[in-house]
Chains A and B, each alone.
Chain A
Amino acid sequence: MGANALSELELVRAALSGDERSFETLVRTHADAVYGHALRFFGDQATAEDATQEVFIKVFRSLASFDGRSAFSTWLFRVTRNVCLDLARAGKHRPVPTDLMELEPPSVRDFADDVVMSRVVETAIRALPPEERDALGAVTLFGMSYEQAAASFDVPVGTVKSRVFRARRTLSRLLEPTEGGA
């Protein structure tokens, strides 16, 4: 267990003892990752917010089951993924489909615009195959190592590397800037 994992465990134990600040720290540290995953999964802001709230309620209630043997982000990622899948399975919320064919490559000018490019990239990420999108999210949103992600998906490390790479290559091809307007 590394120093970071130890501090996470201490944070969780403090939260379990009723320390309000620890709960806030957990929320502020991880809300973006959970929300980001949910947004990419559902493609809808309101649904992503609902899912994020569900995730944190579940996390708060099962905080005692976090034993520090894995990183908190690994545990949180698993909860987040399951909540999104459960919500979709239950028919409460359905992912908004995104068609890769509808994506238009950005113009050279848009390519340099962070706001426009972020929107385009997020749309493109939603259109990725789920296993590639999840692998990319585990690594880039939740900050998991390839090894942690591999353990979480129960696949070899090489598979995670391949999925992340394939996701980036697809995005790269989709988002190659054109000289024309878009």
Chain B
Amino acid sequence: MECLKAQQMLSEAIDSAVPEDELAEARAHCVGCEECTRFARSLERISSLPTPVAPDALVSRLVALGAQEAAVLRTAPAGSPEDGVAPDGHAAAPVRLMPAWWAPRLTAYAAVAAVLLVALVATGIGLGGVLSPREAVFETAEDTRARTDGAALSAAPAPGGTQEATKALSDTLIAPPYVVIDGLVYTPTGPRTVDAATLVTATPVLTSLHAASDPITLPAYRISTSNDTAVLQLTDGTYLGFSAVTREFGGRAFVLTSGSLLTSYGQWPTLPARFQQPTAPDGSPTFSFFGKDDSGTLIYIPTGGQATDGFAVAPGSGPQDPAAGNPNWTWWQRL
């Protein structure tokens, strides 16, 4: 056996099972080879040494962080109106950034803000009326998203607020500009040129876009080089680009789906028809709590489902969440 082969065998034997006869041959080689004997001696010595050990104080801190996270998770799944915790109430509460004493206060403040906004809307004033009546009157569909986000930011249920307030708030909001292409929800990115070679024909889309007129059917295409991009061909032959509405889970993108056709901007995506509407805040009987996505929003899976294939998000997600303002449960599938 050559020296290199013998040394490789000795190294590999430390980490995994190797054929006995080959290891024996390598050891026999070492007996008569000074270089390999030195290597074997060093290898044995290095392998016997202790590896770095995390300081006790660090481990204690980590254990404490884990205990905090466990406490948050214990309160989260119920998410019932009675306990005043929205479905993703704890998700936006960073373990390190927010002291524990602040959380209940923030919950109370957010709840008050939500109730105040609902009261404003109910009296016909609304934020638009308070801040800028003229803009409110002439608001276009393209402004919808910004207004929706602004309102949601002002009165977001997360990390506090009641579900009733969330529902009332959602009912008053208009959805962002969405279209549904092959069951997936997209939002417009603006006019774009396309390379015909990259177009993959999708099911035509029935939509009026932002217009108040009746919806028409427009040819739809996905872009083969970008799996989160699609285009609609407008009546004048130009193309309008769209980007899939996504969220991250485990570092992977999941796209929003809709069980209903959204025939104009401003309509909320709904749960696909194959799912029974949950009747409880914890998703039952259709879903059960699973964990959190990468942004900390709580996610739910159907019985026997794998979160890596798809998951549901409850209404009332935080203001920065891609489902913010949606009064419906939403389903997100692997992009």
A residues lining the B interface (CB < 8 Å): 15-20, 22-24, 26-28, 31-32, 34-36, 39-40, 45, 49, 52-53, 56-57, 60-67, 69, 111, 114, 117-118, 121-122, 139-141, 145-146, 161, 164-165, 168-169, 171-172, 175-176
B134 in the interface (beta carbon within 8 A): no
- Tell me how far the C-beta of A21 lies from the nearest C-beta in chain B, rounded to whole angstroms: 8
| A65→B51 contact, CB < 8 A | no
| B39→A63 contact, CB < 8 A | no
The 7 closest A-B pairs by CB, nearest first: A64-B291, A65-B250, A23-B66, A18-B74, A35-B54, A172-B42, A36-B52
- What residues of B have a CB within 8 angstroms of the CB of A176 in the complex? 38, 42
| A67→B307 contact, CB < 8 A | yes
17 new A-B contacts at CB < 8 Å, known A114-B49, A118-B49: A17-B77, A18-B75, A20-B70, A23-B67, A24-B66, A27-B62, A32-B51, A34-B54, A40-B52, A52-B62, A65-B307, A66-B250, A67-B250, A121-B46, A139-B15, A164-B15, A169-B7
The A interface, classified by DSSP as helix, strand, loop or mixed, is helix
| A18→B70 contact, CB < 8 A | yes
- Tell me how far the C-beta of A47 lies from the nearest C-beta in chain B, rounded to whole angstroms: 12
- Tell me how far the C-beta of A169 lies from the nearest C-beta in chain B, rounded to whole angstroms: 7
- Tell me how far the C-beta of A52 lies from the nearest C-beta in chain B, rounded to whole angstroms: 6
- What residues of B have a CB within 8 angstroms of the CB of A67 in the complex? 250, 306-308
With known contacts A169-B39, A171-B42, A176-B38, A20–B54 Cβ distance under 8 A: no
B58 in the interface (beta carbon within 8 A): yes
- What residues of A have a CB within 8 angstroms of the CB of B274 in the complex? none
Task: Give complex CA distance A34, B59 in Å.
Answer: 11
* Chain B window 205-217, contacts with chain A (Cβ cutoff 8 Å), 1 for yes, 0 for no: 0000000000000
* Chain B window 39-67, contacts with chain A (Cβ cutoff 8 Å), 1 for yes, 0 for no: 10011011001111111001101110111
- What residues of B have a CB within 8 angstroms of the CB of A18 in the complex? 70-77
Task: Give complex CA distance A64, B52 in Å.
Answer: 29
Task: Give complex CA distance A150, B306 in Å.
Answer: 25
B260 in the interface (beta carbon within 8 A): no
| B43→A172 contact, CB < 8 A | yes
- Tell me how far the C-beta of A73 lies from the nearest C-beta in chain B, rounded to whole angstroms: 14
- Tell me how far the C-beta of A98 lies from the nearest C-beta in chain B, rounded to whole angstroms: 15
With known contacts A35-B58, A57-B65, A60-B95, A65–B46 Cβ distance under 8 A: no
A20: contacting residue among B50, B67, B296, CB under 8 A: B67
* Chain B window 254-294, contacts with chain A (Cβ cutoff 8 Å), 1 for yes, 0 for no: 00000000000000000000000000000000000011111
B164 in the interface (beta carbon within 8 A): no
B residues lining the A interface (CB < 8 Å): 7-8, 11-12, 15-16, 38-39, 42-43, 45-46, 49-55, 58-59, 61-63, 65-67, 69-77, 95-96, 249-251, 290-294, 296, 299, 306-308
- Tell me how far the C-beta of A127 lies from the nearest C-beta in chain B, rounded to whole angstroms: 14
- What residues of B have a CB within 8 angstroms of the CB of A57 in the complex? 65, 95-96
Task: Give complex CA distance A139, B96 in Å.
Answer: 31
Task: Give complex CA distance A149, B50 in Å.
Answer: 21
Most buried by A among B42, B67, B292, B307: B42
With known contacts A62-B292, A139-B15, A168–B62 Cβ distance under 8 A: no
With known contacts A57-B95, A63-B291, A117-B45, A141–B66 Cβ distance under 8 A: no
A-B contact pairs, 25 of them (CB 8 A): A15-B70, A15-B73, A18-B75, A18-B76, A23-B63, A23-B67, A23-B70, A27-B62, A32-B53, A49-B58, A53-B58, A53-B65, A57-B96, A64-B290, A65-B308, A66-B250, A117-B45, A118-B50, A121-B49, A139-B15, A145-B16, A146-B15, A161-B11, A168-B43, A172-B38
With known contacts A52-B62, A56-B66, A171-B42, A65–B249 Cβ distance under 8 A: yes
- What residues of B have a CB within 8 angstroms of the CB of A34 in the complex? 54
| A175→B46 contact, CB < 8 A | yes
With known contacts A49-B58, A60-B65, A60-B95, A17–B51 Cβ distance under 8 A: no
- What residues of A have a CB within 8 angstroms of the CB of B76 in the complex? 18
